[in-house]
């Protein structure tokens, strides 16, 4: 039986704060209107096809070739953080860009970050913020520009980030930049995002 994790993020399937045993990042085909217009039903079917339980799963989708997934980890003593990222930039935007009703392109950045030790809800929220900061810095270092304004991009219009920690008795209240966990989160997320951005193709 897989270990149960506390999960926080804005995944299209079972997003928010919940417990889960599986996190899925599924590659969709370009132009798959059912997937983009009915993500809940589409991802539920994918989860069932994988033999997973919908109530115990969190799922995202991407137009990026899943073989370009980048992984990075950072460790010190008993602390281990792993990060997985798929990155496409055809949908790159800068925070505060004008809203758009144009068709959404498939390029997106999805990040899954897992911490080996349990985190309290406050630390989960901080881990989500730290991972988002790492994505922004990776975009800036990669020199990606917004498709709307032409200014330095901070993400894409469809990015998704999910963080996870073991659902045991919580032991860590904070994980900011002054903590070892925060340092490892920053290193793993930044390396994974940077690696994925270097691997990106046209998406």
- How does pLDDT run across 115-165, given as a tens digit for each residue? 999 999 999 999 999 999 999 999 999 999 999 999 999 999 999 999 999
Rg (CA), the chain: 16
> Other CB atoms closer than 10 Å to residue 24's CB: what's the count?
20
Q: Is the pLDDT assigned to residue 73 strictly greater than 90?
A: yes
For residues 139 and 152, what is the distance between their CA atoms, to the nearest angstrom?
Answer: 8
CA 170 to mean position of chain CA atoms: 22
pTM reported for the whole predicted model:
0.92
Six token digits for residue 104? 């959404």
* pLDDT tens profile 2-38: 589 999 999 999 999 999 999 999 998 877 778 878 8
Do β-strands 22-27 and 155-156 pair in parallel, antiparallel, or remain unpaired?
unpaired
């Amino acid at each position: 039986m897989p270990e149960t994790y506390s999960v926080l993020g804005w995944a299209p399937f079972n997003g928010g704060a919940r417990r889960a045993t599986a996190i899925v990042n599924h590659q969709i085909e370009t132009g798959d209107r059912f997937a983009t217009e009915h993500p809940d039903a589409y991802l539920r079917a994918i989860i069932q096809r994988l033999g997973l339980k919908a109530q115990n799963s969190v799922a995202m989708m991407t137009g990026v070739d899943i073989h370009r997934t980048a992984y990075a980890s950072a460790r010190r003593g008993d602390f281990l953080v792993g990060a997985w990222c798929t990155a496409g930039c055809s949908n790159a935007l800068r925070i505060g860009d004008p809203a758009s009703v144009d068709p959404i392109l498939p390029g997106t950045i999805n990040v899954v970050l897992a911490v080996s030790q349990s985190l309290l809800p406050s630390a989960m929220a901080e881990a989500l913020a730290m991972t988002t900061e790492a994505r922004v810095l990776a975009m800036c270092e990669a020199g990606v520009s917004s498709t709307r304004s032409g200014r330095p991009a901070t993400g894409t219009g469809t990015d998704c980030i999910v963080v996870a920690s073991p659902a045991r008795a919580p032991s860590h209240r904070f994980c900011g930049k002054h903590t070892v966990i925060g340092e490892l989160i920053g290193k793993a997320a930044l390396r994974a995002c940077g690696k994925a951005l270097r691997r990106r193709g046209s998406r």
